[in-house]
Amino acid sequence: MATVDTPAPLKRPRQMSANPVRRIVDDVSAEWRGRGEFPPGPADFSFARTHKIAHDPLPLLLGAYEEHGPIFSMRLLHIRSIFMLGPEANHFVTVGHPENFHWRESSFGDLIPLLGDGLLTVDDEFHDRARAIMMPAFHREQVAAMTAAMSAEAEVAIAALPVGEVVDIYDWMRNLAMRIAMRALLGLDPDEAGKGAAAATHFESALHYYGIDYGLRLLRGPGSPWRKLVSSREVLDEIVFAEVARARAEPDPERRDILNLLVNVRGEGGEAFTDREIRDQVMTLMFAGHDTSTSTVTFMLHELARHPDVLARLCEEQDRVLAGEPPTIDQLEREMPFLDMVLDEVLRLYPPAWIGPRRAVREFEWGGYRVPRGAYVNYCSWASHRLPEVFPDPEAFIPERFTRERKAALPRGAYVPFGGGQRVCIGKRFGQIEVKLVATMLLQRLRLDALPGRTMTIRQMPTLSPKGGLRMRVHPRG
Ligand code: HEM
């Protein structure tokens, strides 16, 4: 009789200290070990520089690129961070030599207390095995099954927009994206008190921790942002573990949400995820998928309000293809090329996951410089997408840059809003469909105008978003 070898369980990734002092000491000793080997750039401590990277990083990064070229370093707080910009750098980090890097020990390691060991915060075989098990949950037919929940939620949210009034469209989309995530990812009813509604509230409250200044994040003790994060995480754990237990006890093949799929998926050797692994994966998906889609829809509406010609062409396309009906996944993916071009250009100018944080796990050479093991290394889509030699007139919103031919002619690594290689966004199709579906259904009914004199500034932690939201006036479609 044939036997199936059950693979030995993989060792769990190294647990990281949540103690900020311990982390600072580790960082300083790692830099000491790699001393004398950093690419050029300012090594002195500077509050102004640290403030700038936290509040307006683009001019700083683009200025350093002009001065030093595609690889440079700068001290930020106590850390000497390395940045690698441009097509070749992006390709090297994501596709060419990802084995040189870990995500877990990167500057975003403080996500681990909330996310645990989900896809984003693990590396090597542990990452690759989990990713292989999860991939089927993101195949096209699964995403297609989830579009019903997306459409139903979008329909209700759009109907509730008050015509003639001013609304914060970022806030509106955030609420809608959370409701979609609750249903499609966790299988929860967002209106059910104690479950979906509580999960949404506590998830938002936990995320708040990552949007505040770094100094405040170091505080511990009663009433601190850290304590609030921990108590929201406890509530979320309780809800998610109860859902996993329910899904195991009452298997229902009709349920297509990701949590239920993850309870039933098996790896090549027949291995299943543990409860804890499912919890970590769904929390990671919630984190990675919620802010990103919210910001993308908001930035798209902002640009469309400033470019009536683009809006008119988009409406002409949707009227021709949809004739007033809600879009199907086929139409969104295959029949609306101009919508794709608009989305590509929005993600070029405002890639929500704007930085790819990494830590070098071995010494390597790139661009004529040696990078020591233990160095913090970042690739950056936001700055890379604004290089004039790659995207002429980089500040201008020009969807025609992304006709099929022109997109295909871009150098590899030039355009990376979803990252690349083995860590490319697993929710790419989900996110693209969600954004295109919500924007299309909204524009079939309404027009959103910018408020006179209103300028948008961008906040970038943990992902790009319009600072203070984005207020727009709602009109019926003319
Ligand atoms: C417009 C929407 C989105 C954008 C622009 C986006 C962008 C990205 C980027 C740039 C990365 C790679 C980060 C790196 O290299 O360090 C990434 C990874 C990831 N994204 Fe997305 N994302 C979006 C939507 C989503 C959605 C909807 C989900 C889940 C439902 C999701 C789940 C993930 C996960 C789990 C990873 C980690 C993958 C891995 O390391 O294997 N994303 N995303």
Q: What is the band of 395 on the pLDDT scale with cuts at 50, 70, 90?
A: very high
CA 158 to chain CA mean position, Å: 24
Which one of 176, 425, 432, 460 would you pick to mutate in the ligand 1 pocket, going by the greatest count of ligand atoms within 8 A of its CB? 425
Determine the average pLDDT of the residues in 19-26.
73
The single residue listed with the structure tokens 């993101």 is: 138
Determine the average pLDDT of the residues in 98-124.
93
377 forms bridges with which residues in the sheet? 82, 358
Statement: residue 144 has pLDDT above 50: yes
H helices within 350-426, ranges in order? 381-384, 404-408
Gap between the terminal Cα atoms of the chain: 71
CA separation (Å) from 200 to 89, 183, 378?
A: 37, 11, 31
Determine the average pLDDT of the residues in 384-394.
98
Q: Kindly state the tokens that stand for 193.
A: 């008190």
Q: Which atom of ligand 1 is nearest to the CA of 432?
A: 1
Peptide bond before residue 462 is cis, with ω within 30 degrees of 0:
yes
150 within ligand 1 shell (Cβ under 6 A): no
Are β-strands 101-102 and 71-76 bridged in parallel, bridged antiparallel, or unpaired?
unpaired
418 within ligand 1 shell (Cβ under 6 A): yes
CA–CA distance, 327 with 132 (Å, rounded to integer): 30
446 CA → ligand 1 middle, Å? 29
293 within ligand 1 shell (Cβ under 6 A): yes
293 CA → ligand 1 middle, Å? 10
Are β-strands 364-366 and 369-371 bridged in parallel, bridged antiparallel, or unpaired?
antiparallel
286 CA → ligand 1 middle, Å? 10
pLDDT value at residue 33: 74
Q: What is the band of 1 on the pLDDT scale with cuts at 50, 70, 90?
A: very low
425 CA → ligand 1 middle, Å? 4
Q: Kindly state the tokens that stand for 40.
A: 């050029």
CA–CA distance, 64 with 49 (Å, rounded to integer): 12
CA–CA distance, 233 with 238 (Å, rounded to integer): 9
**Helix (H) or strand (E) run with residue 118 in it:** none
377 within ligand 1 shell (Cβ under 6 A): no
Of all protein residues, whose CA lies closest to atom 37 belonging to ligand 1? 120
Statement: residue 17 has pLDDT above 80: no
Phi/psi at 429 (nearest 5 deg)?
Answer: -65, -45
Are β-strands 465-466 and 376-380 bridged in parallel, bridged antiparallel, or unpaired?
unpaired
- Is the domain defined by 20-476 classed in CATH 3.20.20.10? no
pLDDT value at residue 195: 86
Of all protein residues, whose CA lies closest to atom 7 belonging to ligand 1? 418
430 within ligand 1 shell (Cβ under 6 A): yes
What is the longest distance spanned by two Cα atoms in the chain?
A: 76
Strand order in the sheet with 166-168: 166-168, 471-476, 446-450
Q: Kindly state the tokens that stand for 411.
A: 């150098």
CA–CA distance, 348 with 342 (Å, rounded to integer): 10
Q: Which atom of ligand 1 is nearest to the CA of 430?
A: 27
The single residue listed with the structure tokens 């890639």 is: 351
285 within ligand 1 shell (Cβ under 6 A): yes
Q: Kindly state the tokens that stand for 253.
A: 């093949």
CA–CA distance, 334 with 326 (Å, rounded to integer): 15
Q: How many helices (H) and strands (E) are present in the chain, helices listed first?
A: 19, 12
98 within ligand 1 shell (Cβ under 6 A): no
Cβ neighbour number for residue 116 with a 10 Å cutoff: 19
Would you call 73 exposed, middle or buried from its count of C-beta atoms within 10 A (0-12, 13-18, 19+)?
A: buried
Cβ neighbour number for residue 241 with a 10 Å cutoff: 14
pLDDT value at residue 35: 65
Lowest mean pLDDT among 3-7, 155-159, 190-194, 367-371: 3-7
102 within ligand 1 shell (Cβ under 6 A): no
Q: Which atom of ligand 1 is nearest to the CA of 138?
A: 30
77 CA → ligand 1 middle, Å? 27
Q: Are 76 and 57 in contact (CB under 8 A)?
A: no
258 within ligand 1 shell (Cβ under 6 A): no
Q: Which atom of ligand 1 is nearest to the CA of 296?
A: 1
Q: What is the band of 4 on the pLDDT scale with cuts at 50, 70, 90?
A: very low
> What amino acid occupies position 69?
G
Q: Which residues contact 367 (CB under 8 A, 6 or more apart)?
A: 39, 69, 70, 71, 84, 88, 89
Q: What is the band of 8 on the pLDDT scale with cuts at 50, 70, 90?
A: low
Q: Which atom of ligand 1 is nearest to the CA of 285?
A: 29
| pTM of the predicted protein model | 0.94
Q: Kindly state the tokens that stand for 296.
A: 């993308």
Work out the mean pLDDT of the chain and round it to a whole number.
Answer: 92
